[in-house]
Amino acid sequence: MKRTHYCGELRAAQVGQKVTLTGWVHVRRDLGGIVFIELRDRSGTTQTVFDPQHNKPSWELAQSLRSEFVIAVEGTVRQRPAGTENAKMATGEVEVLTHQLEILNPSETPPFQIDESGGAQAGEDLRLQYRYLDLRRPAMARNLVLRHRMAKAVRDYFDGNGFLEVETPILFKSTPEGAREYLVPSRVNPGKFYALPQSPQQFKQMLMVAGVDRYFQIAKCFRDEDLRADRQPEFTQIDVEMSFITREDMYAIIEGLLAAVWLAARGETIPTPFPRMPFIEAMERFGSDKPDTRFGIELVDLTKDFAQSQFKVFRGAVDSGGVVKAINAKGLASATQGQIETLTETAKSFGAKGLAFIKVEGGEWKSPIVKFFSDTEKKALIEKLKIEEGDLILFGADKREIVWEVLGRLRLVVADLLKKQGTLKVRDDQWNFLWVVDFPLITFDRESNRYLSTHHPFTAAVAEDLSLLDSEPTKVRGQHYDIVLNGVELGGGSIRIHKPDVQKKVFEDVLKIPPDIAQSRFGYMLQAFRYGAPPHGGIALGFDRLCAILCGSTNIRDVIAFPKTAKAVDLMTSSPSEVESKQLRDLHIKLDVEDAG
RNA sequence: GGGGGUGUAGCUCAACUGGUUCAGAGCGCUGCCCUGUCACGGCAGAGGUUGCGGGUUCGAGCCCCGUCACUCCCGCCA
């Protein structure tokens, strides 16, 4: 029997047609005299009817059908009898009266039900172990379809704009500057290793030197770092690089891309251009370089107001060069003692020494600290924070960076509390795209006691700041941009350095990479730049995150066909796994682990 | 590396402060009945070493220690 239609496509238009369907038994409703089998394939479900008066052999065979049996049926599409239509089903107007049934393969009872009442609630480990069953669920099948549509929209868009998709190697060279890498031993080069690329960064720059001019790739990337809901060890980026462009060109191209993707995935036109915000403004107002601008609760600066304060904590912060800032969680004065404690713990975990707060309840300021405030200070608070009954004010007083971070995090936490309480409404279908720009080119890393690239060492500086590179390196802005959506970093990129001497200076003088190491790691790049490297720049967008957002999920495992667990394990195939000693010998590797094997 | 959460029937969960609803419910599964169901319905039934290993106790699903798995977060992710 050869399939003529997908289950989900039958409508009244096909009434009277003889059709053959294949698929899985989704639900069996055996009424004794008559059997209904809801048949499912990737497109949806259709009700098939087995009637003994119409065709006794297939009716008899239908008694033996169970969940997830794979069958083929031949029958006639007919209008359902009046009153038995099902408005909840896309195919609910019609049904297939079956003449013939073939069982292509029986199925054991699945470990969880393949529907939203079973599979969606099943434990994550079970779903991952039986991923092939989980992916049969309509919701997961929809995610796969949407991801495909998005990838196609990306390719069509770039193709239409003169880009070439070029594949770059998966076996790359170790460059331990950034994320921890996956290493691959070389059998034919004993003791030497490849690394899987964290991104195709260096190759795409070489493609620019090669004159490709406009490159993109839907590229697999690998990072051996700890996992999160939005981080997998292997993930997919929309990787882009262009020659002879400025930042403005890049903004326009990516805005066009995202508009095309939103149109393909949701049929929505998103307004462009996107707003832009300097890094420093994002930090001052939202305490984050990826602010969710769908709601307020902005950071308010009170440094000047408390510069002479009797309250030693605030005064001390200001005296030692720090700042005093606060957020107003409107409507959260009802917070319990426990919730305040949790907020305090959060603040402490991000470096605060404590958490000063004011609850505005019953016309009073309930707070352990207001007794230290002067009338002028109180007045300033009321005005700047627009304090009203029911508010909860949270303070940060410390070094600028710590206050940003602490209040930025608290802002998100209290927003969640207010959402749960119903006071704050944040729409999931509101798309606040934002370019965050003017990042510092380099930041001082206290841990390693040296300067590190904020983005990566190939980022060009903003031209007018270049003179500060030697004197005040942290004041230099990079030509770096991040694209942010609703508090999620979708991607980032930069205009690159294309002059060999500038690149060398950044490696050696700014980042203090010893010349011999810079040479062995990046020598080919410096050399390439001496042969007429065009000015160029690029960006990379997290494709999985983009898919997750458009699928309405906060977890990228929902949009990756075969993801790994938080411990980077594939539960379906049980990988990683031990290997045979011969394999290790061939690779010249000796293990140094307890309980190996 | 650190912190939080979870682990009881095939699945999702309940079982109050440790003790007569000490192993339960819904779904699923098995059998029988049922010719218009679509969360089909009815009757009957099977199914458990409460993740694993110790410990405390007269008594542990519940408390303690260890361990494993899953998950969320911090660090990390140029």
Q: Which nucleotide is nearest to A456 (CA to C1')?
A: B78
Q: What is the pLDDT of residues A132-172, one digit of tens each?
A: 999 999 999 999 999 999 999 999 999 999 999 999 999 99
Residue written as token pair 């600028």: A400
Complex ipTM above 0.90?
yes
Amino acid A153 CA to nucleotide B38 C1' distance, rounded Å: 37
Q: Which nucleotide is nearest to A80 (CA to C1')?
A: B36
Calculate the CA A255 to chain-centre distance.
Answer: 18
Nucleic strand B within 7 A of Cβ A27: yes
Amino acid A47 CA to nucleotide B38 C1' distance, rounded Å: 8
**How far apart are alpha carbons A299 and A314 in whole angstroms?**
16
Q: Which two tokens stand for residue A197?
A: 């690329």
Q: Which residues in range 180-239 of chain A are in contact with strand B, contact meaning CB within 7 A of any of its atoms?
A: 180, 198-199, 201, 223, 225-231
Amino acid A120 CA to nucleotide B59 C1' distance, rounded Å: 40
| Mean pLDDT estimate for chain A | 93
The arithmetic mean of pLDDT across residues A86-92, rounded, is 94
Give me the pLDDT at residue A593, please.
78
The b-or-e profile of A155-181 (16+ CB within 10 A means b, else e) is eebbeeeebeebebeeebeeeebeeeb
| Start-to-end Cα distance in chain A | 49
Give me the pLDDT at residue A462, please.
95
Q: Say how many CA atoms lie within 13 Å of A405 toward its Cβ.
A: 12
Other CB atoms within 10 A of residue A487 CB: 19
Q: Which nucleotide is nearest to A457 (CA to C1')?
A: B78
Nearest CA-CA partner of A229 in A576, A574, A488, A539: A488
Architecture of domain A142-274+433-504+531-559: 2-Layer Sandwich (3.30)
Q: What is the pLDDT of residues A391-420, one digit of tens each?
A: 999 999 999 999 999 999 999 999 988 888
Q: Say how many CA atoms lie within 13 Å of A480 toward its Cβ.
A: 22
Nearest CA-CA partner of A10 in A70, A68, A74, A96: A96
Q: Which nucleotide is nearest to A78 (CA to C1')?
A: B36
**How far apart are alpha carbons A434 and A448 in whole angstroms?**
32
Give me the pLDDT at residue A465, please.
93
Amino acid A234 CA to nucleotide B65 C1' distance, rounded Å: 37
- For every residue of A523-578, DSSP letters joined together read HHHHHHHTTTPPPEEEEEEEHHHHHHHHTT-S-GGGGSSS---TTS-BTTTTBS--
Q: Say how many CA atoms lie within 13 Å of A293 toward its Cβ.
A: 20
Give me the pLDDT at residue A449, please.
81
**How far apart are alpha carbons A488 and A469 in whole angstroms?**
31
Q: Residue A35: pLDDT above 60?
A: yes
Cα separations in angstroms, A454 against A146, A246, A439: 33, 20, 8
Amino acid A409 CA to nucleotide B77 C1' distance, rounded Å: 18
Nucleic strand B within 7 A of Cβ A566: yes
Nearest CA-CA partner of A507 in A437, A435, A445, A458: A458
Q: Which nucleotide is nearest to A125 (CA to C1')?
A: B70
Nearest CA-CA partner of A550 in A457, A431, A446: A431
Nucleic strand B within 7 A of Cβ A93: no
What residues does each domain of chain A span? 7-105, 142-274+433-504+531-559, 295-420
Give me the pLDDT at residue A597, please.
37
Between β-strands A18-30 and A35-41, what pairing exists: parallel, antiparallel or unpaired?
antiparallel
Q: Is A326 helix (H, G, I), strand (E, B) or coil?
A: strand
Amino acid A573 CA to nucleotide B48 C1' distance, rounded Å: 28
Give me the pLDDT at residue A119, please.
65
Show Cβ contacts of residue A10 under 8 Å, excluding neighbours closer than 6 positions: A19, A46, A77, A91, A94, A96
**How far apart are alpha carbons A295 and A59 in whole angstroms?**
59
Cα angle A127-A128-A130, degrees, rounded to a multiple of 5 = 65
- At residue A436, φ and ψ (nearest 5 deg) are -100, 125
Find and give the residue nearest to B33, measured CA to C1': A32
Nucleic strand B within 7 A of Cβ A338: no
pTM, entire model: 0.94
Nearest CA-CA partner of A41 in A84, A80, A91, A109: A91
Q: Residue A121: pLDDT above 80?
A: no
Give me the pLDDT at residue A596, please.
41
Q: At what angle do helices A543-550 and A247-266 cross, to 10 degrees?
A: 40
Give me the pLDDT at residue A417, please.
87
Looking at domain A295-420, its CATH superfamily turns out to be: GAD-like domain (3.30.1360.30)
Q: Which nucleotide is nearest to A454 (CA to C1')?
A: B78
Partner residues linked to A234 by β-bridges? A222
Give me the pLDDT at residue A447, please.
76
Inter-residue contact A200 to A206 (CB < 8 Å):
no
Q: Which nucleotide is nearest to A123 (CA to C1')?
A: B70
The arithmetic mean of pLDDT across residues A474-484, rounded, is 95
Q: Return the percentage of chain A with pLDDT > 90, whole number.
A: 83
Q: Which residues in range 116-175 of chain A are in contact with strand B, contact meaning CB within 7 A of any of its atoms?
A: 117-118, 121-126, 128, 175
* 3-class SS shares of chain A: helix, strand, coil, % to 5: 35, 25, 40
Give me the pLDDT at residue A444, please.
84
The arithmetic mean of pLDDT across residues A463-468, rounded, is 91
**How far apart are alpha carbons A109 and A415 in whole angstroms?**
44
Which nucleotides in chain B lie less than 7 Å from some protein C-beta? 1, 10-13, 27-30, 33-41, 69-78
| Candidate CATH numbers 2.120.10.80, 2.40.50.140, 3.30.2320.50, 1.10.150.300; the one for domain A7-105 | 2.40.50.140
**How far apart are alpha carbons A550 and A542 in whole angstroms?**
13
Q: Which nucleotide is nearest to A33 (CA to C1')?
A: B35
Q: Which nucleotide is nearest to A452 (CA to C1')?
A: B78
Find and give the residue nearest to B32, measured CA to C1': A32
